[in-house]
Amino acid sequence: MKKIGMRNIKTGIAVFLATFAGYLGIVETPVYTVSVCIFSIKNTIKNSLDDSFSRIIGTLVGGLVGYLCARFLFTNIISATLGVIFIIHLCNELKIYDSSAIASVTFISICLGVGNNHPLTYSIMRTIDTLVGVIIALIVNFGVSRHKYIDHLWKSFNLAYDDCINIINSMIEGLDFSLSYKKLNEKFDSLQEYYNHLVDELPLSNESYRLNTLYSRFDRCENLIHHVHGLYLIEKKVCYSDNVLNESIYNYHKNNILKLLAENKK
């Protein structure tokens, strides 16, 4: 059985804080706050910052349109439907595409929930409920075990890197570039995923000095994959050049692989 992931734990913490905010009276309807928290927890702080910005903009847009609808129009199924269509179109026109979902949710919570409440007061409270959820998710994403998460990413990156190097070494020793080709690409896909997360995380931490190592290792592995791919194509006879040219290309890729592997041992 797999252990509980960090994103799962962070979501639980965010839900607890959102519910507790309702208990303290900070938010009036914690169900909105909790819902936003669940959808706002992200893997990296960069994703969290980008997502939080779009959600804040969307919340304000939805709150404003919701208030105008509750204040000047009848709040029913028709107005709710047309309002959502308008909000999505408005977000598209403003080029804030990622904000349309949260804007629609905020709008619907006001349009269908206002009842006999004062439109302005109710709209402000629903907007605050949603904004608090976004802020809680951002704080949890930024503050909970970021150091451990970065260490986990770095360890996973290095393991995937070593796996790629070992597979390529085996290919060179056995002069077989097709048997493990699929496995190598799968490992490189994992390496690239961890690399992208680290590129997002490290500049926002106190460990940005590791970026140079990250860049050099990924660049070396990417070049190795390129040369292995060339040998794989020759082995599969995808390149229909004459034999002399094929041999020249084969030696070019093989020599570069040997050179890169030698650099890796330094």
> What is the per-residue pLDDT for 209?
60
Q: What angle do CA 196, 202, 203 make, to 5 degrees?
A: 105
- Measured distance CA(151)–CA(192) in Å, rounded: 16
Distance of alpha carbon 14 from alpha carbon 133, whole angstroms = 8
CA 163 to chain CA mean position, Å: 24
pLDDT at 145: 58
pLDDT digits (tens, 9 = 90+) for 207-242: 656 778 888 899 999 999 998 888 888 777 655 555
So what's the pLDDT on residue 251?
83
**Residue 236 to residue 60: CA distance in whole angstroms:** 57
| Half-sphere exposure at residue 47, Cβ-oriented, CA atoms within 13 angstroms | 12
Residue matched to tokens 């490189």: 188
Q: What angle do CA 128, 134, 139 make, to 5 degrees?
A: 120
Determine the length of the chain.
266
- Separation CA 240–CA 184 (nearest Å): 25
Ranges of the chain whose pLDDT falls below 50: none
Closest CA to 38 of 53, 24, 55, 50: 55
Instruction: Answer yes or no: are the C-beta atoms of 120 and 71 closer than 8 Å.
Output: yes
What's the CA gap between 120 and 52, in Å, rounded?
24
What does pTM read for this prediction? 0.62
Q: What is the mean pLDDT of the chain?
A: 82
Yes or no: say if 123 and 22 are a contact pair by the CB < 8 Å rule.
Answer: no
Alpha carbon 197 to its chain's center = 8
What is the structure's pLDDT at 263?
Answer: 83
Which pLDDT score, from 0 to 100, does residue 264 have?
A: 78
Phi, then psi, of 24 in degrees rounded to 5:
-80, -10
Gap between the Cα atoms of 157 and 201, Å rounded: 13
